[in-house]
């Protein structure tokens, strides 16, 4: 199946006021994210949470991304540049309209080109369909762009991994593995990255609407 996605727009986000997690989730899931889908090139969007248990299971948590609580990923197809322009303009418009959550900081945010994709053979679906399959969470590794590409075949052979995609820009590679197993169990089964350039390696859980009580 032909791959329509060309770019992933990532946001690794910290909620800066501990009392604002529920308000942040309500805003993002019920207001902010739905407004992105009418944009012509937005193929999909998903957000995951680094619960206290997920945070404890991180194999690597470098200074830049150590504070984050959430990861958002929008998948972007053609027209990429037009969509990125509209995406940023929509963000400004929502901010001007008072529809933006202020108690948040994105520690790493921006577009990354899609480099490689793979589905685990056992799941039968195509590589291109992996993000759309129901899942319990993701395992994410952020590392330097000069590192060797991830071995997705090894990753997809791990029990609980349904498939994986890798993205890159000039500074970093981001590998996302979609999990149909328990994120904490999969994290325990994966090898700890040994490269000094790794900035983050750990699990995130899928967010269920209205179930936002992890940090209470």
Q: Yes or no: say if 103 and 18 are a contact pair by the CB < 8 Å rule.
A: no
The per-residue pLDDT for 195 is 63
Domains of the chain: 5-206 (3.30.70.100)
Compute the average pLDDT of residues 128-139: 98
Question: Which tens digit of pLDDT belongs to each residue from 87-128?
Answer: 999 999 998 999 999 999 999 999 999 999 999 999 999 999
Express as a percent the part of the chain with pLDDT over 70: 99
Nearest residue to 165 via CA among 195, 141, 148: 141
For the chain, the straight-line distance linking the first and the last C-alpha, in angstroms and rounded, comes to: 43
Q: Yes or no: say if 108 and 52 are a contact pair by the CB < 8 Å rule.
A: no
Question: Which tens digit of pLDDT belongs to each residue from 174-215?
Answer: 999 999 999 999 999 998 776 678 999 999 999 999 999 999
Q: Which residues contact 50 (CB under 8 A, 6 or more apart)?
A: 58, 68, 69, 70, 71, 202, 203, 204, 205
Q: Yes or no: say if 158 and 31 are a contact pair by the CB < 8 Å rule.
A: no
Q: Yes or no: say if 190 and 59 are a contact pair by the CB < 8 Å rule.
A: yes
């Amino acid at each position: 199946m032909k791959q329509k996605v060309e770019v992933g727009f990532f946001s690794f986000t910290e909620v800066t006021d501990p009392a604002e997690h529920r308000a942040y989730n309500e805003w993002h899931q019920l207001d902010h994210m739905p407004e992105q889908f009418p944009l012509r090139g937005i193929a999909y969007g998903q957000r995951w949470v680094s619960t206290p248990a997920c945070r404890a299971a991180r194999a690597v948590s470098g200074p830049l991304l150590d504070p984050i609580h959430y990861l958002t990923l929008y998948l972007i197809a053609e027209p990429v540049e037009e969509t990125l322009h509209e995406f940023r303009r929509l963000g400004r418009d929502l901010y001007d309209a008072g529809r933006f959550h202020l108690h948040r900081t994105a520690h790493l945010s921006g577009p990354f080109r899609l480099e490689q994709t793979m589905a685990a053979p056992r799941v039968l679906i195509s590589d291109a369909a992996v993000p759309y399959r129901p899942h319990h969470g993701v395992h994410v590794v952020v590392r330097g762009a000069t590192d060797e590409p991830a071995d997705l075949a090894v990753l997809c052979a791990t029990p609980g991994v349904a498939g994986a995609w890798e993205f890159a820009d000039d500074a970093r590679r981001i590998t996302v593995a979609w999990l149909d197993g328990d994120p904490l169990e999969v994290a325990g089964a994966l090898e700890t990255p040994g490269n000094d350039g790794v900035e983050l390696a750990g699990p995130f859980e899928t967010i269920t609407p209205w179930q936002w009580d992890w940090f209470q």
